[in-house]
């Protein structure tokens, strides 16, 4: 873990967050500046700077992280498919719009209208 990293601090419960899911590996919480009616962030509890810092041996936990997403979306206000759904975003690097250097998935959803942009507001 990185001691200076905001999301590591949230993972250690040193900074409050509106947590909706926690297990041994992952934490999900509401984005503090939501870009949609539902806007969650899903992080691994261990420090990983971005998707670009993952390697083949990370595939198993990345798959587990990905597989949490549909239930998190459904359980936190995203509407059922096919009319509903959710958007999954992983901003990666400066030009990808990544501001916090700890890997996170944005899970966005809820009734439209909300931002049509591929990335949440910076
Ligand atoms: P990104 O631009 O992809 O790095 O996204 C970082 C996200 O973290 C933004 O959507 C911010 O609103 C969100 N954020 C920043 N600080 C906090 C915090 N303390 N709790 C929850 N979300 C946060
Ligand atoms: Zn971190």
**C-alpha to C-alpha distances, 8 to 12, 35, 49, 51, nearest whole angstrom:** 6, 22, 11, 16
* Residue 91 resides in a domain: yes
Q: Does the Cβ of 91 fall within 6 Å of ligand 1?
A: yes
Q: Which of 12, 33, 96 to mutate to test the pocket of ligand 1 (most atoms within 8 A of CB)?
A: 33
3-state secondary structure of 42: strand
Residue 115: inside a domain, yes or no? Answer: no
120 part of a folded domain: no
Question: Quick one: which of 90, 55, 68 has its CA closest to 24?
Answer: 68
**Tens-digit pLDDT string for the chain (122 aa):** 577 999 999 999 999 999 999 999 999 999 999 999 999 999 999 999 999 999 999 999 999 999 999 999 999 999 999 999 999 999 999 999 999 999 999 999 999 999 766 555 54
Query: CATH number of the domain that 24 lies in?
Result: 3.30.428.10
Give me the number of domains the chain comprises. 1
Question: Which residues are CB-contacts of 83 (< 8 A; sequence separation ≥ 6)?
Answer: none
Domain extent at residue 48: 6-109
């Amino acid at each position: 873990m990185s001691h200076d990293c905001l999301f590591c601090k949230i993972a250690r419960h040193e900074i409050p967050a509106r947590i909706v899911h926690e297990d041994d590996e992952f934490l999900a919480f509401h984005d503090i500046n939501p870009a949609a009616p539902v806007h969650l962030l899903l992080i691994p509890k261990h420090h990983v700077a971005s998707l670009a810092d993952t390697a083949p041996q990370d595939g198993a936990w990345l798959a587990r992280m990905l597989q949490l997403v549909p239930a998190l979306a459904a359980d936190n206000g995203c509407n059922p498919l096919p009319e509903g759904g959710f958007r999954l975003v992983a901003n990666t690097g400066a030009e990808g719009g990544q501001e916090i250097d700890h890997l996170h998935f944005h899970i966005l959803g809820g009734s439209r209208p909300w931002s049509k942009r591929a990335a949440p507001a910076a």
